[in-house]
């Protein structure tokens, strides 16, 4: 499939991808999944993301990193040594024809190479330049290093996650990184829309710390409204009941009820007929206050059944219930498989495999999985060829360690 | 006058609770005109969720509601009436976006499924946010964020190997679905402008959350490995954890991903020999000796409070972050210097601070355009200034019980 500009959401967009962390790579992935040409610029030794596991079949080969493969499908890879003047010059040439540049390097790192926003806007005033860092381009922590766990901690999410008798708990699946990437993608898409309308690009400064803080729901307001600092308190929701994770026969389930009819369905699912008619269920604050006493009664019922049976039976009763799915449950889930949530990829080193495709269904312009992740430098000739570099030119670039 | 990235775009917003309103918050802060359809007969449940500015929990004093609904107008309409549906039809005709997060049956019940929407306005971008989307075997299953994160596989990856999996401290799939929706809407608006074609964005919140499980699925399909939760450890790097500091329940997160950084850390914690110690010299060795390594680091962090440990390590060039409480965060010097928290004076809640826009845009800086509206506060404005109704017409609608 090609990125046809009329049927593809971002078929007219060229993204220069100077990222190597999830907060960057997931952002550009969101554009590539919906048709943008994403040109991943790697140093000649390859992106650091190629060094990160897990690896296919446990083989520590930069072309077999599943971490890299997952975050870079639908992208093209070119190598370019940005430490050399010629490499910088070529990147400037590419920026001339690009719509969006996304980078996740330390503050000022690209500007020092002559590739900062101020330098590139001169060449291409329509360029949207999105910088993703831990703490933003300004302020006392601007130069601080970040990582998923650091942003999780500094954004306030860790402090309110996990059981009270354990240390603050990191959210699984690198969520500080993903939350940051999604906000960066939103801001970038909005800037592209503005660019189309007004002809001018801009600089976007995304701070992971702030993106994480923005998903705290009502925890910051609890402090600014009432002065109360929220403590982590396990899985129980602060207001609704039952709204927590329960054990069952073969694992765990998640339930979250807000309406009385849903609460009753959760109780019926536990087959506790006496509790089902108890007036305590009528009041959210009363049933929440008696959670310690009531939860064991539900658990007694849930322990008799497996998570999948509870999920389907609970839903048929009108209970908002989910299985606590693991990777096997996800990969084999009938709903996800039926709606095309997964796609088959074919990669020269990893082979054929199934992975998550574009998650949002655009009925007019659905996401298309065009390719698996690129091999290192797979598209160098194709992309730089557009700049008029011929065979002799490529020989020089190789000899000079530019590509 | 500040420029807005989304100036000139209008959204008729039926969303409620968290996911849809978070999307609307992001759109509104970038200048889209958000018209939220409400009713005293069907109050957004979050208007009754804590925290409250007043102990009597009076209407319009919820901080939860007020943060996610700033930069919007609120219009009261009894959707059960024919007149209300006519008003909605007129609004949709002059809107660019329709946003809702009902169950898959919700909009049809209101009489505004996509077929009807595009009949009214062929260029409309319609974003639905049902729990499992509008297709597939679970499309009519009920789903809220706190259980979607279980179904989506995030809960199973969160928490401690010795105990139960843990919910995230926030209704995470709602927030993730909200920002994903905002991205999708803006992308579809661009497409509509280029091609003249609107479309239906069928976003399933559980699905957008599954898409955030990182390598869980690919590792299973390629290697047959089912990832397990691992507390604060990183499977492939050490040290990677939170370390106790001197104050009560104070912690500092530290992560080191290569040997060079480990040598820097060893110096920073005044144990330079560690970098040459066979137990710690390589990442593989450090993973093997995690416990001893974490004990040594903890002995150092325990001398300092969480901020001091972070400052000392960051000064040396190590990725370290104090585990900030919500209070720490709001009072944090960096957050203040960035101006991330913004205040607005709300007629019922008074002057309070709210999280602002988590990114800065040089040309079109996002900001909180107006305080969250009291229930129905903008009914008159929208009917009169946007729909051009006369005072007489509005009075008749009011008397007919439509504007409740």
What's the confidence (pLDDT) of residue A6?
Answer: 53
Residues A142 and A253 both lie in one domain:
no
Q: Which residues does A73 contact at the CB level (< 8 Å), separation at least 6?
A: A29, A32, A33, A345, A355, A369, A371, A372, A373
d(CA A351, CA B89) in angstroms, rounded, equals 52
φ/ψ bin of B155: left (φ > 0), alpha (ψ from -120 to 50), beta (otherwise): alpha
A215–B176 C-beta distance less than 8 A: yes
Residues A131 and A275 both lie in one domain:
no
Tell whether A382 is within 8 A of chain B (Cβ).
Answer: no
Is A234 part of any domain?
A: no
Residues A34 and A131 both lie in one domain:
yes
For tokens 């603050």, the residue is A168
A153–B186 C-beta distance less than 8 A: no
Which of B197, B203, B251 lies nearest to residue A168, judging by beta carbons? Answer: B251
Residues A123 and A154 both lie in one domain:
yes
For residue A246, the SS3 value is strand
Cα–Cα–Cα angle for B363, A20, A206, nearest 5°? 25
What's the confidence (pLDDT) of residue B46?
Answer: 95
Residues A108 and A178 both lie in one domain:
yes
Is A70 part of any domain?
A: yes
d(CA B187, CA B9) in angstroms, rounded, equals 13
- Write out the two tokens for B262: 């480990």
Give helix A307-317 / helix A260-269 axis angle, nearest 10°: 140
Which residue of the set A67, A183, A237, A312 is catalytic? A237
Which of A10, A67, A185 lies nearest to residue B215, judging by beta carbons? Answer: A67
Is A311 part of any domain?
A: yes
Render pLDDT for B281-301 as a digit per residue (tens, 0 to 9): 999 999 999 999 999 999 999
Question: Considering only alpha carbons, which residue of chain B is nearest residue A228?
Answer: B327
d(CA A122, CA B23) in angstroms, rounded, equals 34
What's the confidence (pLDDT) of residue A2?
Answer: 39
**Which of chain A's residues have a Cβ under 8 Å away from the Cβ of B335?**
209-210, 213
A202–B363 C-beta distance less than 8 A: yes
What's the confidence (pLDDT) of residue A147?
Answer: 98
B326–A183 C-beta distance less than 8 A: no
Residue after which a domain boundary falls, among A325, A353, A379: A325
What's the confidence (pLDDT) of residue B163?
Answer: 86
A170–B174 C-beta distance less than 8 A: no
Question: Considering only alpha carbons, which residue of chain B is nearest residue A345?
Answer: B218
d(CA A217, CA A161) in angstroms, rounded, equals 13
B360–A137 C-beta distance less than 8 A: yes
- Mean pLDDT over B332-348 rounds to 97
Query: Could you give the residue ranges of the DSSP H alpha helices within B214-316?
Result: 216-223, 259-268, 283-288, 290-301, 306-316
Superfamily classification of domain B10-212+339-399? Crotonobetainyl-coa:carnitine coa-transferase; domain 1 (3.40.50.10540)
Q: Which residues does B326 contact at the CB level (< 8 Å), separation at least 6?
A: A156, A159, A160, A216, A219, A220, A222, A223, A229, A230
Q: How far is A88 from chain B (nearest CA, A)?
A: 24
Query: In this structure, what CATH number is given to the domain that contains residue A260?
Result: 3.30.1540.10
Query: Can you give the residue ranges of every domain in chain B?
Result: 10-212+339-399, 240-325
ipTM rounded to 2 decimals: 0.98
Give kind and range of the element (H or E) at residue A115.
Answer: none
- Domains: count for chain A: 2
Encode chain A (403 residues) as per-residue pLDDT tens digits: 334 445 799 999 999 999 999 999 999 999 999 999 999 999 999 999 999 999 999 889 999 999 999 999 999 999 999 999 999 999 999 999 999 999 999 999 999 999 999 999 999 999 999 999 999 999 999 999 999 999 999 999 999 999 999 999 999 999 999 999 999 999 999 999 999 999 999 999 999 999 999 999 999 999 999 999 999 999 999 889 999 999 999 999 999 999 999 999 999 999 999 999 999 999 999 999 999 999 999 999 999 999 999 999 999 999 999 999 999 999 999 999 999 999 999 999 999 999 999 999 999 999 999 999 999 999 999 999 999 998 999 999 999 999 8
Which residue, among B47, B153, B259, would best test binding to A if mutated, counting the most A CBs under 10 Å from its CB?
B153
Decide if A369 contacts A341 (C-beta within 8 A).
Answer: no
A138–B158 C-beta distance less than 8 A: no
Q: How far is B97 from chain A (nearest CA, A)?
A: 14
The whole domain housing A97 covers 14-214+339-399
Q: Which of A97, A221, A281 is nearest to B356 (CA)?
A: A221
d(CA B116, CA B177) in angstroms, rounded, equals 25
- Order of strands across the sheet that contains B125-128: A361-362, B199-202, B125-128, B97-100, B10-13, B33-38, B73-76
Question: Considering only alpha carbons, which residue of chain A is nearest residue B26?
Answer: A186
**Which of chain B's residues have a Cβ under 8 Å away from the Cβ of A190?**
5-6, 30, 186, 361, 364
Tell whether A169 is within 8 A of chain B (Cβ).
Answer: yes
Q: Which of A235, A106, A313 is nearest to B150 (CA)?
A: A235
Percent of chain B's residues with pLDDT above 90: 99
B325–A159 C-beta distance less than 8 A: yes
d(CA A199, CA A79) in angstroms, rounded, equals 30
The residues in B 12-71 lying below 8 A from A, measured between CB atoms, are 18, 26, 30, 45, 49-53, 63-64, 66-67
**Which of chain B's residues have a Cβ under 8 Å away from the Cβ of A56?**
222-223
B340–A155 C-beta distance less than 8 A: no
A214–B175 C-beta distance less than 8 A: yes
d(CA B391, CA B401) in angstroms, rounded, equals 15
A326–B217 C-beta distance less than 8 A: no
A138–B216 C-beta distance less than 8 A: no
For tokens 């999920």, the residue is A311
Render pLDDT for B136-175 as a digit per residue (tens, 0 to 9): 999 999 999 999 999 999 999 999 988 899 999 999 999 9
- Mean pLDDT over B5-34 rounds to 98
Q: How far is A9 from chain B (nearest CA, A)?
A: 6
Tell whether B281 is within 8 A of chain A (Cβ).
Answer: no
**Which of chain A's residues have a Cβ under 8 Å away from the Cβ of B364?**
190-191, 194, 202
Query: In this structure, what CATH number is given to the domain that contains residue A82?
Result: 3.40.50.10540
Which residue, among A27, A160, A170, would best test binding to B if mutated, counting the most B CBs under 10 Å from its CB?
A170
- State the burial class of residue B143 (Cβ atoms within 10 Å of its Cβ: 0-12, 13-18, 19+): buried
B26–A186 C-beta distance less than 8 A: yes
Chains A and B form CB pairs within 8 A to the count of: 515
**Which of chain B's residues have a Cβ under 8 Å away from the Cβ of A120?**
none
The residues in A 177-216 lying below 8 A from B, measured between CB atoms, are 178-179, 182-187, 189-194, 196-197, 200-207, 209-211, 213-216
Is A260 part of any domain?
A: yes
The residues in B 189-248 lying below 8 A from A, measured between CB atoms, are 189-191, 193-195, 197-204, 206-208, 210-223, 225-227, 229, 231-232, 234-236, 240-242, 244
Decide if A203 contacts B361 (C-beta within 8 A).
Answer: yes
- Order of strands across the sheet that contains A321-323: A243-248, A251-256, A321-323
In the CATH scheme, what architecture does the domain B240-325 have?
Answer: 2-Layer Sandwich (3.30)
B327–A193 C-beta distance less than 8 A: no
Render pLDDT for B353-369 as a digit per residue (tens, 0 to 9): 999 999 999 999 999 99
pTM score, whole prediction = 0.98
Q: Any catalytic annotation for residue B202?
A: no
Residues A66 and A193 both lie in one domain:
yes
Residues A20 and A88 both lie in one domain:
yes
**Which of chain A's residues have a Cβ under 8 Å away from the Cβ of B330?**
220, 223-224
Helix %, strand %, coil % of chain A (to 5): 40, 15, 40
Question: Considering only alpha carbons, which residue of chain B is nearest residue A152?
Answer: B323
Which residue of the set B174, B202, B294, B378 is catalytic? B174
Residues A369 and A308 both lie in one domain:
no
Residues A136 and A251 both lie in one domain:
no
Decide if A13 contacts A36 (C-beta within 8 A).
Answer: yes
A214–B169 C-beta distance less than 8 A: no
The residues in A 1-20 lying below 8 A from B, measured between CB atoms, are 5-6, 9-10, 12
- Order of strands across the sheet that contains B319-322: B240-244, B251-255, B319-322
Residues A92 and A195 both lie in one domain:
yes
- Mean pLDDT over B38-67 rounds to 96
Residues A312 and A358 both lie in one domain:
no
B359–A211 C-beta distance less than 8 A: yes
Partners of A244 in the β-ladder? A255
> How many CA atoms does the CB half-sphere of B64 hold within 13 Å?
24
**Which of chain A's residues have a Cβ under 8 Å away from the Cβ of B218?**
66, 69-70, 353, 355-356
What's the confidence (pLDDT) of residue A394?
Answer: 92
C-alpha dist (Å) from residue B171 to A171, A299, B17, B155, B177: 12, 23, 11, 11, 10
Decide if A298 contacts A266 (C-beta within 8 A).
Answer: yes
What's the start-to-end Cα distance of chain B, in Å? 35
Decide if A15 contacts A31 (C-beta within 8 A).
Answer: yes
Indicate the DSSP class of residue B165.
B
Residues A100 and A175 both lie in one domain:
yes
């Amino acid at each position: 499939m090609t990125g046809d500009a009329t049927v593809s959401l971002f078929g007219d967009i060229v993204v220069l991808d100077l990222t190597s962390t999830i907060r960057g790579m997931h952002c550009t992935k969101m554009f590539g999944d919906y048709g943008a040409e994403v040109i991943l610029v790697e140093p000649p030794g390859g992106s650091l993301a190629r060094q990160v596991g897990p690896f296919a079949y446990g083989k520590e080969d930069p072309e077999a990193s599943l971490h890299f493969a997952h975050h870079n499908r639908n992208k093209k890879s070119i190598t370019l040594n940005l430490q050399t003047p010629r490499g910088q010059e070529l990147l400037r040439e590419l920026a001339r024809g690009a719509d969006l540049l996304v980078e996740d390097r330390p503050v000022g790192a690209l500007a020092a190479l002559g590739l900062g926003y101020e330098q590139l806007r001169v060449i291409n005033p329509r360029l949207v330049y999105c910088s993703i860092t831990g703490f933003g381009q300004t302020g006392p922590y601007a130069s601080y290093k970040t990582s998923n766990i650091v942003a999780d901690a500094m954004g306030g999410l860790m402090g309110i996650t996990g059981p009270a008798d354990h240390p603050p708990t990191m959210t699984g699946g690198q969520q500080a990184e993903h939350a940051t990437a999604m906000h960066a993608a939103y801001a970038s898409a909005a800037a592209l829309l503005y660019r189309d309308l007004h002809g001018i690009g801009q600089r976007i400064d995304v701070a992971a710390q702030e993106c994480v803080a923005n998903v705290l729901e009502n925890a910051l307001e609890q402090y600014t409204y009432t002065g109360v600092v929220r403590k982590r308190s396990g899985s129980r929701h602060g207001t609704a009941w039952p709204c927590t994770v329960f054990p069952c026969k073969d694992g765990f389930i998640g339930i979250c009820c807000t309406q009385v009819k849903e609460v009753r369905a959760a109780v019926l699912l536990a087959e506790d007929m006496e509790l089902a008619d108890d007036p305590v269920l009528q009041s959210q604050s009363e049933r929440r206050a008696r959670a310690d006493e009531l939860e064991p009664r539900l658990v007694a019922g849930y322990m008799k059944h497996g998570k999948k049976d509870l999920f389907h039976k609970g839903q048929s009763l009108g209970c908002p219930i989910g299985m606590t799915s693991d990777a096997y449950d996800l990969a084999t889930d009938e709903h996800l498989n039926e709606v095309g949530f997964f796609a088959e990829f074919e990669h020269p080193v990893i082979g054929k495999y199934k992975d998550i495709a574009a998650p949002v269904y655009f009925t007019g312009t659905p996401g298309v999985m065009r390719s698996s992740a690129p091999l290192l430098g797979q598209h160098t000739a194709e992309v730089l060829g557009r700049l008029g570099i011929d065979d002799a030119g490529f020989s020089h670039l190789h000899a000079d360690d530019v590509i | 006058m500040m420029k807005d990235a989304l100036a000139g775009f209008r959204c008729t917003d039926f969303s409620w609770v968290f996911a849809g309103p978070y999307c609307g918050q992001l759109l509104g802060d970038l200048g889209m005109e958000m018209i939220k359809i409400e009713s005293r007969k069907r109050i957004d449940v979050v208007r009754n969720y804590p925290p409250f500015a007043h102990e009597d929990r009076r209407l319009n004093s919820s901080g939860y509601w007020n943060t996610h609904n700033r930069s919007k107008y609120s219009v009261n309409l009894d959707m059960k009436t024919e007149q209300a549906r006519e008003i909605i039809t007129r609004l949709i005709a002059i809107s660019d976006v329709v946003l809702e997060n009902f169950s898959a049956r919700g909009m049809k019940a209101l009489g505004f499924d996509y077929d009807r929407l595009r009949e009214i306005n062929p260029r409309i971008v319609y974003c639905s946010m049902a729990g499992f989307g509008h297709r597939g075997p679970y499309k009519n299953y009920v789903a809220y964020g706190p259980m979607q994160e279980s179904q989506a596989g995030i809960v199973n990856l969160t928490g401690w190997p010795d105990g139960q999996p843990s919910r995230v401290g926030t209704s995470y799939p709602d927030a993730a679905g909200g920002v994903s929706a905002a991205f999708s809407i803006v992308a579809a608006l661009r497409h509509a402008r280029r091609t003249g074609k609107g479309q239906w964005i069928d976003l399933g919140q559980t699905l957008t959350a599954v898409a955030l499980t990182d390598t869980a699925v690919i590792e299973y399909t390629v290697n047959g490995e089912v990832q397990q939760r691992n507390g604060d450890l990183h499977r492939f790097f050490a040290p990677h954890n939170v370390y106790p500091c001197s104050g009560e329940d104070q912690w500092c997160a530290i992560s080191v991903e290569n040997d060079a950084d480990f040598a820097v850390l060893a110096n920073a914690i005044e144990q330079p020999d560690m970098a040459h110690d066979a137990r710690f010299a390589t990442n593989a060795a450090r993973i093997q000796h995690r416990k001893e390594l974490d004990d040594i680091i903890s002995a150092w962090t325990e001398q300092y409070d969480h901020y001091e440990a972070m400052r000392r390590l960051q000064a040396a060039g190590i990725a370290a972050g104090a585990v900030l409480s919500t209070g720490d965060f709001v009072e944090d010097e960096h957050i203040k210097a960035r101006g991330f928290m913004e205040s607005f004076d709300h007629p019922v809640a008074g002057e309070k601070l709210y999280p602002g826009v988590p990114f800065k845009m040089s040309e079109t800086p996002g900001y909180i355009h107006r305080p969250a509206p009291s229930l129905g506060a903008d009914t008159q404005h929208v009917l009169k200034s946007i729909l051009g109704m006369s005072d007489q017409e509005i009075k008749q609608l009011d008397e007919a019980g439509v504007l409740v």
